[in-house]
């Protein structure tokens, strides 16, 4: 367990040290139980492992030009696509995709996120599994092929009165 006191949290160096300690503990916990299908995120929560599938379908602020796109700069852009199934996407403060409410397919961008630190960072950014939960869906890529990809579903409540969208951000 992490041993720190509030006085230790002074300055960037102390925060960086805490960050590194958390990452080491996460790595050790994951390495100690490699046969498990679940791993630990930054906060110690269990979530689904990446199962050797590194394709991520993004529909919101991780899309190009939408604010958090910088976190995918080192990942390979694979092209545009659309979900094979229909979902409901609401835009609250940020886009929220709901798995159990079907309105229309959702336009996505596909990225190959090979670096484990980038994958862990995206999981933490999305609050996987308690804020958004990462699950595998089928995507129809722009070349017509159907590919499996991870997508993040919002875990909060849908607003039945809100508008729903099939696309967020810039479109070509």
67 or 137, which is more confident?
137
Rg (alpha carbons) of the chain, rounded to whole number: 17
pLDDT computed for residue 9 by the predictor? 41
pLDDT in tens, 20-71: 665 665 566 555 444 444 444 444 444 567 878 999 999 998 998 888 888 8
Structure tokens given for 133: 């939960």
Least confident of 17-21, 135-139, 157-161: 17-21
pLDDT computed for residue 103 by the predictor? 87
Tokens 């230790």, located at residue: 8
End-to-end, the C-alpha distance of the chain in Å comes to 48
pLDDT computed for residue 58 by the predictor? 96
Q: Classify the phi-psi angles of 15: left when phi > 0, otherwise alpha if psi is within -120 to 50, otherwise beta.
A: alpha
pLDDT computed for residue 92 by the predictor? 82
pLDDT computed for residue 57 by the predictor? 97
153 or 160, which is more confident?
153
Could you tell me which of 73, 28, 27, 34 has the C-alpha nearest to residue 52? 34
pLDDT in tens, 93-134: 889 999 987 889 999 999 999 998 899 889 999 998 899 999
Residue 167 bridge partners (DSSP)? none
Q: Do the beta carbons of residue 150 and residue 50 sit within 8 Å?
A: yes
CB-side neighbour CA atoms (13 Å) of 128: 24
Distance CA 19, CA 31 (A): 18
CB-side neighbour CA atoms (13 Å) of 25: 14
């Amino acid at each position: 367990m992490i041993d720190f006191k509030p006085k230790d949290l002074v300055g960037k160096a102390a925060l960086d040290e805490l960050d590194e300690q958390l990452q080491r503990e996460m790595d050790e916990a994951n390495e100690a139980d490699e046969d498990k299908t679940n791993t630990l995120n930054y906060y110690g929560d269990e979530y689904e492992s990446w199962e050797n599938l590194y394709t991520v379908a993004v529909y919101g602020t991780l899309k190009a030009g939408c604010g958090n796109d910088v976190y995918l700069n080192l990942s390979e852009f694979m092209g545009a696509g659309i979900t094979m199934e229909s979902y409901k996407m609401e835009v609250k403060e940020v886009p929220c995709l709901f798995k159990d409410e079907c309105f229309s397919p959702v336009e996505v961008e596909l990225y190959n996120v090979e670096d484990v630190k980038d994958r862990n960072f995206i999981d933490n950014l999305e609050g996987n599994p308690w804020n958004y939960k990462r699950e595998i869906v089928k995507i129809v890529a722009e070349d017509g092929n159907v590919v499996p990809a991870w997508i993040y579903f919002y875990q909060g409540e849908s607003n039945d009165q809100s508008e729903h969208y099939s696309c967020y951000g810039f479109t070509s």
